A and B are shown apart, each in its own frame.
Chain A
Amino acid sequence: MSDKDGKDRPGEGQPSDAAAAPTPLVVPASPMFERPSRRDMLKRVGLAAGVLTGSAVLGRAVWDRGGFGVAAGQGARQVRDYRLREVAPEHAELAIAKGKAGEAVSADALVRRAVDAMGGIKRFVSRGDVVVIKPNIGWDRMPIHAANTNPDVVGAVIQLAIEAGAKRVVVADGSCNDPNRCFQRSGIWRKAYALGAEVVLPAAHRFRTTRMRGEVLDEWPIFTTLVDADKVINVPVAKHHNLAKFTAAMKNWYGVLGGRRNRLHQNIDTSIADLATFMRPTLVVVDAMRVLMRNGPQGGNIDDTKVMNQVFATVDQVAADAYGATLIGQHRDNLPYLKMGHERGLGTMYWEQLRVREV
């Protein structure tokens, strides 16, 4: 650079030579040792200063001061509340549709009876709604094993939502076993597809970390498909659970969570209550067509199941579980998560006090 300058503009080398003259320095004659021009020096210094300033500004902008608590986010407790605001006194609060003993009854008819007793599907789903239906598709089991929601019950709910004019009906769950296998072998995929509903499998990219601010569930990855909706219908299956003793509506929200949810079992009751606080569905339709009485939640043995031919609908998740527990001979006092839900005001564990209608 400098030698080039020197060759190009030999005249400009003079001042620097002159400046150096008073000192007894040996000024080399060779143009190779000529001093750079002032303009050139200013440019260089300016460039160096610019780079320094730039890196300093960038460093300051992304400075992490360290220490605990800095990274902790803010934000209030998140609640996904899809419930209806109005209460109609003429409608049931817990509608239980039972097939008569020995009568061949279709799941479709039972679901319709239960929902009609609740005021009809039009009360819950409006024209143009995006309706998300959350069955239990947790396990690689067939319908006969009663570990997942009966596909006919899911199908009946889909049908109702479509009849009410829903814009889109989405069926989704976060499975425990391989989701492809669970969705196919539960029979729900086929049923939902035949009825024209969208089926969304829990792909990794569908989960977003969300701040729930629960007692034990603070930040967790949430299955966004299940919460991006106008109306959410919880369609669990009532069954035995070895740790929680009974599972239906409230624990069904485990399917909302991603991540390592196996840790929740250390405080299963509180995490169930946290999830039920986070997710407030529009409607709960519990499948008790065939109930897993033992070896829950996964089952696998048909001998462990019992045909009950029942479907019950409510908007109160706590009452749904409290009633459902009676089906497998459990009592609400043995289920701590019901008590927590009751105390948190999510619903009532004394389901008898609701307007119960048996249809």
Chain B
Amino acid sequence: MAASPSHSGAARGSSAPAHAGIALDLGAIERGHAHDHAPVEPIPWKTGDVGVVAPLDVDTSFVPTIPATYGLKVPPAPGPVAGPPPAKKTGCGSLCGCGSVAGSAKAPAPAKKTGCGSSCGCGSAAASAKAPAPAKDAAAMRRAASSRIAELASILGIGTPRERAGASPDAGAPAKGEPPKGASGGKKPPKKLPGSGIPARRSIRILVWVRRAAQLGFFSLFMFFLFQTGFRGNFAASADTPVRLPYPVEAFLLADPFVTAMTFGATHQVYRGLLWSVGLLAVTLVFGRVFCGWICPFGTLHHFFGWLLPSRKGRGASRVEANKTHGYQRAKYYLMYAFLLASLAGSAIGGLFDPICVAVRAIGLGVIPGVQYMAGRALGAAQDIPARPVQHAADGAQDVLATTVWQSHQFYFHQTWLIVALLVAILFLNRFIPRFWCRVLCPLGAFLGVFARFALFGMEKDHAKCTDCNLCLVNCQGADSPQGGVKWRQDECHMCLNCESACPEDVIKFRLLPNRKSRIGVPDLQRRTLLATAAAGAAFIPAARIADSLDVNYHAKVIRPPGAVEERAFLERCIRCAECMKVCPNNALHPAMFESGVEGLWTPILIARIGYCEHSCVLCGQVCPTGAIQKITEKEKLGQGIPPVKIGTAFYDLGRCLPWSMGTPCIVCEEFCPTSPKAIWVEEVEAPMRDSKPGPDGTEPAMLTVKLQRPHVDPSLCIGCGACEKVCPVQDQPAVYITSVGESRSKTNVILLENTNYNQG
């Protein structure tokens, strides 16, 4: 207990063999020892003179005299004594599976080198099995310990390769002392378990792998849905089959209770499929934030990067420190409440931070088109290689990619660099704080955290058994204080079960209806900060609307998708998830920057110069999870029997129009105008035109007469789809363009008297 700084420094060096894989900061452990749990006997491992640590409650007859360099000096007592060691490899599982047989199993201890740690289901039974295990078993225990930690290190990816390699010489050393084992043990270093080496319950070890499988599966499903967010046609569909996506690609958003809460706050309704999010709430109420640890694709991405980035550096002590619960984790609650208040004030702006929205937006609008661009360049270059097989392979690859991952042509998104830059930034922050996004920023995680306090499933801790080895913290995802001596933070926990899986001391137990002696379920928010941030969220919306972008001076280029509700209702619902932009077959919808004010950041606008609104397409409404774009049918959009959905009106810039000002025939706009009768009609004229060449003897060029068709717009028929603007051959600044005026969703943004009807609807 009375550890001095120099002491801990010595401990770091001397205990290295057993714990080289994780390089714990023992100073930190000492500091952490001021916790209020029951006093335990001095832990020899902490004071440096460690050989074996047996479970304290069971066996205190540890052997403190074994020096730290035991690897070389310990007489390999049990190994040679045991009769036929290698043959026991398979037999071990059956032998040590039950407590009573375990006693006899002690004799052929070296046989445990691979079998026991990983394959036997001892669980708690192992404790009793170990009780009679005296010091003579020390070598076997050490090998088991080292195998355990090496396994952990390789599975969890902690430790640099060098450090992992550094652990093996130590582990391999005893093998040298044992000639019979040397040959067989050479290729695979014996493993060691840290601490007492009590393996986690088999159910937990299985569940950890189930969790990894679930994470991979849900992430794959998310990506599959993202790849399927786009219409690729169907060879089996008949001509009159309505064009719809075959999969519920917006499913992750529908299951997102934060989206539901925001739109409920703004509209006092739960829109269609969002009712599914109640299911996720139910799961949270039973199991806690399993969504964060098991399901969330964005969380999985951060889990992966949190493993990838700091594993090179910053692990060990700094990782343990980073994975402790910190005050900054409260930020996500403040953000969440601010966004909920903002939604009450009339804007679902919190979608900017919703993890599913961020994932769809950044991956769908940035990563996928970016990869497509690079792949297109690379495969295009391969197609130019004058070798038939290479060309065929490149062709085939482009075909497969175009029909599975992206579309048959390159997609571009307006100012998407910012979205990608922010994604890269938050992914990079994993280097310093693993799962920074999930712990500090994610409002959905905070929302689920509010409900996690009621969860029926949870953790129990036996502080007395904790040796402060901090293996739980090394592997913790949520920074929820799984270690002994402090209370578990249920609202922060992602339920990844890594802590129990890693714990070598039988301290942590996850179970249904646990006792709540050692947990905190409510975040320790500071009331003033909470009030201030929530008020800021509520005040932001009117403040943003004071800026002239909504009530007055509405931007002409804020052209909303067909079926979008009126602008204020639209802002109440739009969560900026970018599903509509991803699905748009013509690449027409784009994330707005500040066209519709700061409040409208990344809401969808139609940029007709990049793509026009396909006449019979209603896919954006199909994928919109919140009803910002209503699920209209083709009939409603085209206006069969009712007025069609108008998203704007086309205007001619006569000075740039070829037939109007340049005496050149064109009317591509009229050709592409999809309405019937066409909103663009042409007037046949004979117009004077000067010859380009001078007359004979340098006289004035002759005047000619050309027959032209000059286009006009009928504003009562124009639906503002932008096909004319898209195809106008005046490349840089089109001679015909659409603006938002005349959109059928607005009663104020109109031109014609007949549409100015305040009594409508």
Question: For window 168-211 of chain B, which residues contact chain A by CB distance below 8 Å?
Answer: none
Q: Produce 1/0 per residue, A279-299, CB < 8 A to B.
A: 000000000000000010111
Whether B674 and A298, one on each chain, are in contact in the complex, defined by CB atoms closer than 8 angstroms, is yes
Write the chain B residue with the least CB distance to A268.
B665
Does A205 contact B379, Cβ atoms closer than 8 Å?
yes
- Tell me which of B239, B409, B665, B678 contacts A243 (CB under 8 A): B665
Q: Is A301 an interface residue (CB 8 A)?
A: yes
| Cβ contact within 8 Å between B674 and A300 | yes
Q: Is the CB of A201 within 8 A of B408?
A: yes
Contact (Cβ within 8 A) B408 A203: yes
A265 touches B (CB below 8 Å): yes
Measured between alpha carbons, how far is A149 from B614 in the docked complex, in Å? 20
Residues of A within 8 A of B379 (CB): 205
Whether B712 sits at the interface, judged by CB under 8 Å, is no
- Interface pair B380/A205, CB less than 8 Å apart: yes
A300 and B675 form a contact (CB under 8 A): yes
CA distance A267 to B729 in the complex (A): 12
Check if B672 sits within 8 Å of A265, measured CB to CB: no
Q: Is B633 an interface residue (CB 8 A)?
A: no
For the complex formed, measure the closest distance between the CB of B667 and the CB atoms of chain A, giving whole angstroms: 6
Closest chain A residue to B394, Cβ basis: A205
Among A142, A263, A304, residue most surrounded by chain B Cβ atoms (within 10 Å): A263
- CB of B727 within 8 A of CB of A262, answer yes
Contacts of A186 on B, CB cut-off 8 Å? 239
Could you say which residues of chain B place their CB within 8 Å of the CB of A185?
A: 239-240, 243, 616
Instruction: List, in ascending order, chain A residues with CB within 8 A of B235's CB.
Output: 184, 189-190, 192-193, 199
When each residue 225-260 of chain A gets 1 if its CB lies under 8 Å from chain B and 0 otherwise, what string results? 000000000000000011100000000000000001
User: Which residues of B are found within 8 Å of A243, using beta-carbon distances?
Assistant: 665, 667, 670-671, 709
Chain B residues in 8 Å Cβ range of A301? 676-677
Report yes or no: B709 in contact with A184, Cβ–Cβ below 8 A: no
In this assembly, does A176 line the interface, its C-beta being within 8 Å of a C-beta of chain B?
yes
> Which residue of chain A has its CB nearest to the CB of B375?
A205
Across the two chains, which residue of chain A brings its CB closest to B682?
A242
Which residues of B in the span 371-402 have a Cβ within 8 Å of any Cβ on A? 376, 379-380, 383, 395, 398-399, 402
Nearest CB to that of B659 among chain A residues? A266
Interface size class of A (residues with CB under 8 A): 35 or more
**Which residues from A are CB-within-8-Å of B383?**
205
Q: A202: CB under 8 A from chain B? A: yes
- Cβ of A99 under 8 Å from chain B: no
The residue that A184 contacts in the complex, of B237, B666, B672, with Cβ under 8 A, is: B237
Known pairs A243-B667, A260-B731, A295-B678; A181 contacts B672 (CB<8 A): no
Instruction: Pick the contact of B617: A181, A183, A201 (CB < 8 A).
Output: A181
Name the CB-closest residue of A to B230: A180
Within 8 A of B (CB), among A271-324: 295, 297-301, 304
- Inter-chain contact B664/A180, CB cutoff 8 Å: no
Q: Does B692 contact A (CB under 8 A)?
A: no
A300 / chain B contacts, CB cutoff of 8 Å: 674-676
Decide if B665 touches A178 in the complex (CB within 8 Å): no
List chain B residues, Cβ under 8 A from A181: 231, 233, 243, 585, 614, 616-617
CB-based contact B668/A262 at 8 Å:
yes
Given contacts A184-B233, A265-B666, contact A179 B408 (CB under 8 A): yes
Residue of A187, A204, A297 with most chain B CB atoms under a 10 A cut-off:
A204
Q: A265 touching B237 by the CB < 8 A rule?
A: no
- List B contacts of A203 (CB < 8 A): 398-399, 402, 408-409
Min CB distance, B343 to chain A, in Å?
35
Given A143-B239, A176-B672, A295-B677: A184 touches B729 (CB 8 Å cut-off): no
Min C-beta distance of B227 to chain A, whole Å: 15
Contacting pair A140 B236 (CB below 8 A): no
Check if B585 sits within 8 Å of A180, measured CB to CB.
Answer: yes
A contact residues around B6 at 8 Å (CB): none
Q: How far is it, in angstroms, between the C-alpha of A51 and the C-alpha of B31 when the chains are bound?
A: 59
The answer to the question of B526 belonging to the interface, with a C-beta cut-off of 8 Å to chain A, is: no
Q: Is the CB of A298 within 8 A of B672?
A: yes
How long is the Cα–Cα vector from A189 to B731 in the complex, in angstroms?
33
B395 touching A205, Cβ below 8 Å: yes
Bound CA–CA A189/B233 (angstroms): 9
| In the complex with contacts A186-B239, A203-B408, A242-B682, A180-B232 CB distance below 8 A | yes
A297 to B671, CA, bound (A): 7
B234 at the interface (CB under 8 A from A): yes
171-211 of chain A: CB within 8 A of chain B: 176-181, 183-187, 189-190, 192-193, 199, 201-206
Q: Are A262 and B728 also in contact (CB < 8 A) when A177-B614, A181-B614, A243-B667 are?
A: yes
Contact of B676 among A184, A204, A295 (CB under 8 A): A295
A341 interfacial by beta-carbon distance below 8 Å: no
B410–A184 CB distance below 8 A = no
Name, among B376, B410, B709, B729, the residue most crowded by chain A CB atoms within 10 Å (CB to CB).
B729
Known: A265-B667, A266-B664. A190 touches B238 (CB 8 A): yes
Check B239–A151 contact: CB distance below 8 A. yes
| A residues near B673, Cβ cutoff 8 Å | 298
With A205-B376, A242-B671 in contact, do A262 and B729 touch (Cβ < 8 Å)?
A: yes
Taking CB atoms, residues of chain B closer than 8 Å to A178 are 231, 585-586, 614, 617
Report the bound CA distance from A205 to B409 in whole Å: 8
The yes or no answer to B615 lying at the interface (CB within 8 A) is yes
What CA separation (Å) do A190 and B235 show in the bound complex?
Answer: 5
Give residues of chain B (15-39) contacting chain A, Cβ–Cβ below 8 Å.
none
In the assembled complex, the Cα of A140 lies from the Cα of B243 at a distance in Å of 11
With contact pairs A178-B617, A181-B231 given, residues A204 and B410 touching in the complex (Cβ less than 8 Å): yes
Indicate if B455 sits at the interface (CB-CB under 8 A).
no
Q: Pick the contact of B409 from A183, A184, A199, A204 — CB < 8 Å?
A: A204
Structural contact, B614 and A140, CB atoms closer than 8 A:
yes
Q: Which residue of A lies closest to B239 (CB)?
A: A187
With CB as the reference atom, state the residue of chain A lying closest to B669: A262
A298 close to B614 (CB less than 8 A):
no
**In the assembly, what is the distance between CA of A205 and CA of B728, in Å?**
24
B620 CB within 8 Å of chain A:
no
On whether the beta carbons of A180 and B666 are closer than 8 Å, the reply is no
- CB <8 Å contact, A183 and B233: yes
Judging by beta carbons under 8 Å apart, are B671 and A184 in contact? no
Q: Which residues of chain B have C-beta atoms less than 8 A from A295's C-beta?
A: 676-678
Interface string of B647-688 (1 = CB under 8 A from A): 000000000001000001111101111111110001000000
Residues on B with C-beta less than 8 A from A204 are 376, 408-410
Question: Using a CB-CB cutoff of 8 Å, which residues 464-493 of chain B contact chain A?
Answer: none
Which partner residue on chain A sits nearest B399 by CB separation? A203
Segment 422-456 of B: residues with Cβ below 8 Å from A: none
Asked if A142 and B671 sit within 8 Å, CB to CB, the answer is no
Closest chain B residue, CB of each to CB of A269: B665
Question: Is the C-beta of B760 less than 8 angstroms from some C-beta in chain A?
Answer: no
* B224-276 at interface with A (beta carbon < 8 Å): 231-241, 243
**How far apart sit A221 and B233, CA to CA, in the bound complex (Å)?**
24
Question: Which partner residue on chain A sits nearest B235 by CB separation?
Answer: A193
Task: Note all chain B residues with C-beta closer than 8 A to A201.
Answer: 233, 408
B671 adjacent to A265 (CB under 8 Å):
yes
A205 touches B398 (CB 8 A): yes
Q: A77 vs B678: C-alpha distance in the bound complex, in angstroms?
A: 39
Please report the C-alpha to C-alpha distance between residue A302 and residue B243 in the assembled complex, in whole angstroms. 20
Q: Which residue of A lies closest to B662 (CB)?
A: A266
Separation of A304 and B678 alpha carbons in the complex (Å): 12
Given A260-B731, A298-B672; 5 other pairs, CB 8 A cutoff: A140-B674, A178-B231, A201-B408, A260-B729, A301-B676
Closest 7 CB pairs of A and B: A180-B233, A187-B239, A203-B408, A300-B676, A193-B235, A301-B676, A205-B398
List residues of A whose CB falls within 8 A of some B CB: 140, 142-143, 151, 176-181, 183-187, 189-190, 192-193, 199, 201-206, 241-243, 260, 262-263, 265-268, 295, 297-301, 304
Can you list 28 A-B pairs, Cβ within 8 angstroms, ordered by A? Answer: A142-B239, A142-B240, A176-B672, A178-B617, A189-B233, A193-B236, A203-B402, A204-B410, A205-B376, A205-B379, A205-B380, A205-B383, A205-B395, A205-B398, A242-B667, A242-B709, A243-B667, A243-B670, A262-B729, A265-B667, A266-B658, A266-B664, A266-B666, A266-B729, A298-B672, A298-B673, A300-B674, A300-B676
